A and B are shown apart, each in its own frame.
Chain A
Amino acid sequence: MCELPIDLDSKINLLTIVITNWLSKLTHIDPDLVLKLRDQLGLDFIDARIQVYHSELVVLDNGVVRELTLNKHQGIGVRVLVGGSMGYSSTNSFDRESIRDAAERALKIARAISGETFKLALYERPVVKSRASSSFQVDPGLIDISEKLELLKTMYSVVREVQGVSSSTIRFGYEDDYRLYISSRGDYVEVYRKMIGAGARLIAHVEGVYESFGDAESAVAGWEFIKSINWDDWIRDRGKLVVETARARRVKPGRYDIVLDNDMVGLMLHEAFGHASEGDIVLAGGSVLGGRVGERVASEYVSIVDDGLVEGGAYVPFDDEGTPKRKVYTVKNGVLQGYLHSLSTARALGQEPTGNARVMSYRHPILVRQTNTYMEPRDWSPDEMIRDMKNGVYVKGRGALGGEVNPLTGAFTFTSGPSYIVENGEPKTLVKGVMLSGLILDTLRNVDAVGKDLLVRTSVFGGCGKSNQMVRVGDGGPHVRVRGFTIGGG
C-alpha cells in the first residue's frame, strides 16, 4: 500500500487543466468537506466520488449521420457508514448545500436499513494521496469533428465497394473520464483517463442469406491511435469476411477440442472465472469458487491475473475507493489464490484489498469488478498448438458479441466470431453462429496447452455489465487449447 505526498494547496492542478475549462467548477470542492460532513452528521465514515465525464459519439449509418452527440456529465456521489449501515446518494451540483443534502439522503436511507444489514466495516488501509493520468499525444477533443467524420466517410466509401455488403454502421468514439476520490480518512486520489476507438457493424446479404459482423479497435490513448491504423484495409478485410461468413455453414452442435485465439481466451476467462472470483459475489454465497482458496480449480498450465495497468488494457491505476490497483493472481499454476476485493469485502473475508472496487459513474454504488483479466503466457506457438490438436475448432474472437455467466450454478456462455473447423492440424472450413458453453469448475481443468503470444485489448464502446453498471475492462491472453468444449448456436 502506498502513501504518496501531493501538494493539496494547488487547487488547480495539471490534470484539471488538461481536460477542459468546464472542469474549473471542481476547483471549488474543498477536500475537507467530507471531514466536516462526518462531524456535522455524526457519521463513522464518509467518502465522495467526484466525476467529470465527457464523451463524443459519431455514427454513420449507410453514409448518413445517425448520431453526432457530445455527452457532458458531472456529479458527486457520497457514501456514508453509520453504525455499520451503508447508504449512498448523489447530486450533479457541486455547491456545498447540494452535497450536504446528498449526504443527508444517504444517511437517511442507511438508517432505514440499519436493522436489516450486516454490521459493515471497511478495511483500514493507509491513507492514499495521489494522482495518475493515462498518456496520450494528441487530444481528440482538439481534433475538429469534420476530421472524425471524414474518417468514417472514407471507411464507408471503401466498404460499400465490397460486393455483398448490404449495410454498414460505422462509429467513432472517445471519452475523457476524470475522477476524484476523497474520504474522511484523508484520501485524495485523482485519476484521469482518455480512451478512443472506431469500429463498424456490417451486414451482408448474399444469395438470400443475411449475416452480421461487428468489430472495433480501441485504446487508452489519444488521436494518434486513430492515425496508427490503416482503416481502409481494416474495413475492407472485415467486409470481405462478413460476405464469406454469409456463405459459411453453421457448426454442428456438440463437444469439440478447441483452440481459442487471444480475444476469445480473455472473454472466456472473464466469464468462466473472473466473475466468480469477485469478492462481493463470494461473500454473498453466490460463487462456486467460495471457500476454495488453495484448491486446484484449473490445470497446472493456468495462471490468471487481474492487472489495472497491463499494456493494451483498460487504465485503472486506482479503484473508486482510492486503493492502488495491485496486480493480482487469482489462480497460479492451477491453484486458487484468492478473490478480488473492495475495502468492505476484504475486511469481511479477512484478506487484503486488491483495488477492484469500481463504479460506473458517480451515481452508482461500489461493486467488486475485474479490471484487465488475462492468462499468463507459456511456451506453445499457436500454429504448433493447432497442428497438435489435429481435429477440432479454432475459435476466433473478432466479431464476438460477448459472454455471460451465472456464478452460482457455474454455467457460462460466450459467442465467437467466424471460426474454423480444424482437420488434420489445419484450419480448413469457415463456420458461423458459434456459441460456446461450459461449467466453471470443469472448463479450466481441461486446458492442456497455453501459448506464448500474450495480447490484451479493451474497448471504448463497451465493457462489463453487472447489477446495472457497465465499466470499462480489458481481457486477453495467449492462444489456449481446451479439450472437450460444448459448442452450439443458431
Chain B
Amino acid sequence: MEDHTYAYEDSQLEVVEVVDDVIERIIARSTERGLSELEVYVVKTNIRVFTVADDKIIEASSSVDHDIGLRGSIGKRVGAIRLNNLPRNPDEALDSLIPVVKSSPEDPYWSGFASDAKAPLKVEAYDPRIGKMTEEEYVELLKATMERLKEPGLRRGVEKAFVAEGLLMASDLEVTISNTHGVCRSMKKSIVTIWLTLNILKNGSQSDYGLVYNKGILDQGELERKALESGERALLFFNSKPIESGEYEVVFEPTQTGLILQFSLAPAFSGLNILENRSPLRSKLGEVVFSDKVSIRDNPELRGGVGTRGFDDEGVATSNKRVVDKGVFKTILHSHYTAKRMNTDSTGNGIRTHPAAQPQPGFTNLELEPGSGDLEEFTRDLKKGIVVYDIIGYWMSDPFTGSVKATVTHGLLVENGVVVKPVKGVVIGGSIYDWLSRNLVSVGGDSVVNGNASTPSILISGVKVAGK
C-alpha cells in the first residue's frame, strides 16, 4: 500500500450554493417576523460506509444528508428547531421556529449569539481525498488493511485469522454557521473511521483484537502500521482470564488513556459545569490539581484530530492553549454564553451535540502533552501490574465526581517486567484526581491521535482491580 502525499485544501470555503441563499433569506426575514436574533447551523454530509463480517465486505451505503439547526431569540427567550430539509420559503421554517421561541421562558443570563470578532485559526482540517476516493478505491483500501491485520498471525502459524466484523466510514462534511450578528463561516471537514475486529484461532483457543483508526485525515502509511500492530497484539490474549482482586499498578496504552480522560475528566473543564456547580474543578482555577507531569491542551490545530477546526460551533475563532499547565488548572473552557456569564471572552470552545443544540463548552481536541518513555518501557518497569490494551464501559465513568470505572477486555498481567498471563473481565476503578496526582508514576512520550484526543501511555499506581 502506498502512502500518498497530498495537498490540504484551505478549510475555509466560499459559501455554498443553494443552502446559503436560503440561509440569507431566512436571516433577512427573521427580523421582519419579530425575532431579535437568528442563528442557522447547517451540516451537509457525504458519507460512504462499508460493513465487514466474516472477512468479507457484506454491504455498503452511500448517502448525502443535511442536518439543520435554527435557533432564535426574542429578548431573552430562546428556542430551536432541527430539520433535515431547509424549506426554500423562509416563512415555512420561521413558522415552526417562532412559536417555540415565544413559548420558552426567559433565560436571565441570555446575552445573545456570538459576533464575528476574530479571524478563524488557520488549520488543516480537511483531507479532500476522503470525499474524492471512489467506492472501488475504498474497497481496495479495506481489503489491504484486512490483509495487513491478519498478516502477523498467519506468519506465526495460527490456524485461522479472520476479520469477524467491522466497518469503514468515510465522511466529507460542509459546515455553515450564520447569524444575525454577521457571523458567516463555512468549513470543510473530513473524518475516516475504520474499526475491524480480528479473530484468531490456535490449538483450540481463541484470541482477538480490534484495529481502531478514527481521524480527520487518511494517512495510509499510519493505517498500515496500526493494522500490523493490532495484528501483533491479537497474538497476546489467548486463554485470558480474570485475576485476583487487589491494588495493582496499571499501564494504559495511549488510546485507552484518551478514553479515560475524555469520559472521567474533560467535562470538568466546562465553564457551564463550573457555573452550575457540577465540576470538581469549581473554585480551583490557578490551583495545583494534578502532578506537575500533567499538562493538558485544548489543541484545535492537532494534525489528524477529528476536532481540528479554525472556529467553534458558534463561529468563534478557536485557540491552542494549555488548560492544565504542569499540574495547575489554567483555563476554563468557554462558549459565548458561559463567557458572558463569567464576564470574560469565549475561548472558542462552544461545541454542539446536534445542530439545534445550545453550544456547550468542550474540548476541540484534548491533548495530554507527552513526557518520556513508552508502553514497552513502562511494562518493563512494572513490579506487579496490568497493561491495559482495551477496555469497555469506560463511558460510564462519572465526570461530575471524577470516578473512573471500566472493564478490561484485553490486558496483560506483568510481574517484575515479565508478562505472566493475559487478563480479561476485571473491573478497574478509582478517582481520576488521584490517578493524575499522587498515583501518577509516568506520562509517556508515545502519543497517539484517536478521534479528538492525543494521548500517550500512562503508568498509575494503586488502581483498584476487581477480579476473582
A, B bound: yes
Residues of A bordering B, CB below 8 Å: 61-62, 64-75, 85-93, 102, 105-106, 108-110, 112-113, 116-118, 120, 144-146, 149, 153, 166-167, 203, 205, 209-212, 253-255, 280-281, 283-286, 363, 365, 401-406, 408-409, 411-415, 433, 435-439, 467-468, 486-490
Chain A contacts for B425, CB-based, 8 A? 411, 437-439, 486
**Provided the pairs A167-B276, A284-B53, A408-B208 are in contact, do residues A488 and B357 lie with their beta carbons within 8 angstroms?**
no
Chain A contacts for B466, CB-based, 8 A? 253-255, 435, 437, 486-489
C-alpha gap A205/B401 in the complex (Å): 10
C-alpha gap A275/B242 in the complex (Å): 21
- B58 to chain A minimum Cβ distance, whole angstroms, is 6
- A48 to chain B minimum Cβ distance, whole angstroms, is 14
Asked if residues A284 and B208 are in contact (CB atoms below 8 Å), the reply is no
Chain B contacts for A413, CB-based, 8 A? 392-393, 396, 406-407, 427
Asked if residues B407 and A109 are in contact (CB atoms below 8 Å), the reply is no
Which are the 9 A-B pairs with shortest beta-carbon distances?
A488-B466, A488-B427, A253-B466, A490-B429, A112-B135, A88-B61, A413-B407, A284-B53, A286-B164
Select which of A72, A149, A363, A402 is within 8 A of B81 by beta carbon: A72
**Provided the pairs A65-B105, A116-B139, A284-B53 are in contact, do residues A435 and B405 lie with their beta carbons within 8 angstroms?**
yes
Tell me the total A-B contact number using a CB cutoff of 8 A: 283
The reply on B169 being an interface residue by CB < 8 A is yes
Q: Which of A113, A146, A203 has the most CB of B within 10 A?
A: A113
- A477 to chain B minimum Cβ distance, whole angstroms, is 21
Give the size category of B's interface with A. Answer: 35 or more
Asked if residues B100 and A68 are in contact (CB atoms below 8 Å), the reply is yes
Chain B contacts for A64, CB-based, 8 A? 107-109
Chain A contacts for B467, CB-based, 8 A? 255, 486
C-alpha gap A440/B51 in the complex (Å): 25
C-alpha gap A284/B135 in the complex (Å): 23
Asked if residues B105 and A489 are in contact (CB atoms below 8 Å), the reply is no
Asked if residues B164 and A408 are in contact (CB atoms below 8 Å), the reply is yes
The reply on B4 being an interface residue by CB < 8 A is no
Chain B contacts for A436, CB-based, 8 A? 427
C-alpha gap A409/B66 in the complex (Å): 38
- The A-contacting residues of B in range 357-409, CB under 8 angstroms, are 357-358, 392-393, 395-398, 400-409
Chain B contacts for A255, CB-based, 8 A? 245, 466-468
Q: Which of B53, B134, B272 has the most CB of A within 10 A?
A: B53
C-alpha gap A152/B398 in the complex (Å): 24
Residues of B bordering A, CB below 8 Å: 48-51, 53-54, 56-66, 78-85, 96, 99-100, 103-105, 107-109, 134-136, 138-139, 143, 162, 164-165, 167, 169, 197, 199, 206, 208, 237, 240, 242, 245-246, 272, 276-278, 280, 356-358, 392-393, 395-398, 400-410, 424-431, 464-468
- B289 to chain A minimum Cβ distance, whole angstroms, is 14
**Provided the pairs A87-B61, A365-B49, A411-B424 are in contact, do residues A404 and B392 lie with their beta carbons within 8 angstroms?**
yes
C-alpha gap A99/B368 in the complex (Å): 47
Asked if residues B278 and A166 are in contact (CB atoms below 8 Å), the reply is yes
Asked if residues A92 and B167 are in contact (CB atoms below 8 Å), the reply is no
C-alpha gap A144/B84 in the complex (Å): 24
Asked if residues B403 and A489 are in contact (CB atoms below 8 Å), the reply is yes
C-alpha gap A411/B208 in the complex (Å): 12
Asked if residues B393 and A488 are in contact (CB atoms below 8 Å), the reply is no
Asked if residues A403 and B393 are in contact (CB atoms below 8 Å), the reply is yes
Select which of B199, B245, B277, B393 is within 8 A of A414 by beta carbon: B393
Asked if residues A488 and B59 are in contact (CB atoms below 8 Å), the reply is no
- B367 to chain A minimum Cβ distance, whole angstroms, is 24
Chain B contacts for A283, CB-based, 8 A? 53-54
Asked if residues B464 and A490 are in contact (CB atoms below 8 Å), the reply is yes
Asked if residues B164 and A72 are in contact (CB atoms below 8 Å), the reply is no
Asked if residues B107 and A65 are in contact (CB atoms below 8 Å), the reply is yes
- Which chain A residue lies CB-closest to B353? A67
**Provided the pairs A166-B277, A433-B429, A489-B403 are in contact, do residues A68 and B104 lie with their beta carbons within 8 angstroms?**
yes
Which secondary structure dominates where chain A touches chain B? strand
Asked if residues A116 and B208 are in contact (CB atoms below 8 Å), the reply is no
**Provided the pairs A253-B427, A254-B245, A488-B405 are in contact, do residues A108 and B164 lie with their beta carbons within 8 angstroms?**
no
C-alpha gap A62/B275 in the complex (Å): 10
- Which chain A residue lies CB-closest to B81? A70
Chain A contacts for B65, CB-based, 8 A? 90, 92, 363
C-alpha gap A109/B397 in the complex (Å): 40
- A166 to chain B minimum Cβ distance, whole angstroms, is 4
- A454 to chain B minimum Cβ distance, whole angstroms, is 26
- A296 to chain B minimum Cβ distance, whole angstroms, is 20
Select which of A93, A167, A253, A439 is within 8 A of B278 by beta carbon: A167
Q: Which of A146, A281, A409 has the most CB of B within 10 A?
A: A409
Chain A contacts for B56, CB-based, 8 A? 116-118
Select which of A70, A88, A93, A113 is within 8 A of B82 by beta carbon: A70
Query: What are 20 contact pairs spanning A and B, CB under 8 A?
Result: A65-B104, A69-B82, A69-B356, A86-B59, A87-B60, A92-B84, A93-B85, A112-B134, A113-B59, A145-B100, A167-B278, A255-B466, A285-B162, A286-B199, A403-B396, A409-B424, A411-B409, A433-B398, A437-B393, A488-B466
Select which of B61, B278, B404 is within 8 A of A109 by beta carbon: B61
C-alpha gap A154/B237 in the complex (Å): 54
**Provided the pairs A89-B63, A109-B135, A284-B164 are in contact, do residues A203 and B104 lie with their beta carbons within 8 angstroms?**
no
- B230 to chain A minimum Cβ distance, whole angstroms, is 14
C-alpha gap A488/B393 in the complex (Å): 12
C-alpha gap A237/B327 in the complex (Å): 39
Asked if residues A116 and B100 are in contact (CB atoms below 8 Å), the reply is no
- Which chain B residue lies CB-closest to A415? B396
Chain A contacts for B404, CB-based, 8 A? 490
- Which chain B residue lies CB-closest to A66? B358
Asked if residues A405 and B392 are in contact (CB atoms below 8 Å), the reply is yes
Chain A contacts for B99, CB-based, 8 A? 145
Chain B contacts for A61, CB-based, 8 A? 272, 276
- Which chain B residue lies CB-closest to A149? B105
C-alpha gap A144/B409 in the complex (Å): 49
Asked if residues A408 and B199 are in contact (CB atoms below 8 Å), the reply is yes
Chain A contacts for B107, CB-based, 8 A? 64-65
Chain A contacts for B80, CB-based, 8 A? 67-70
| Additional pairs, 13, CB under 8 Å, beyond known A69-B356, A401-B395 | A62-B276, A145-B99, A205-B277, A210-B402, A211-B401, A285-B199, A405-B392, A435-B393, A435-B396, A437-B425, A489-B427, A490-B403, A490-B404
Asked if residues A105 and B81 are in contact (CB atoms below 8 Å), the reply is no
Chain B contacts for A365, CB-based, 8 A? 49, 51, 59, 61
Chain B contacts for A286, CB-based, 8 A? 53, 164-165, 197, 199
Chain A contacts for B272, CB-based, 8 A? 61
Asked if residues B59 and A87 are in contact (CB atoms below 8 Å), the reply is yes
C-alpha gap A88/B50 in the complex (Å): 10
Chain A contacts for B165, CB-based, 8 A? 280-281, 284, 286
Asked if residues B84 and A73 are in contact (CB atoms below 8 Å), the reply is yes
Asked if residues B48 and A253 are in contact (CB atoms below 8 Å), the reply is no
- B392 to chain A minimum Cβ distance, whole angstroms, is 4
C-alpha gap A406/B390 in the complex (Å): 10
Asked if residues B53 and A71 are in contact (CB atoms below 8 Å), the reply is no
C-alpha gap A113/B61 in the complex (Å): 10
Chain A contacts for B78, CB-based, 8 A? 65, 68
Chain A contacts for B104, CB-based, 8 A? 65, 68, 145, 149
C-alpha gap A85/B356 in the complex (Å): 37
- B5 to chain A minimum Cβ distance, whole angstroms, is 25
Chain B contacts for A254, CB-based, 8 A? 245, 466
**Provided the pairs A409-B208, A467-B167, A490-B429 are in contact, do residues A70 and B58 lie with their beta carbons within 8 angstroms?**
no
- A436 to chain B minimum Cβ distance, whole angstroms, is 8
Chain B contacts for A116, CB-based, 8 A? 56-57, 139, 143
C-alpha gap A92/B64 in the complex (Å): 9
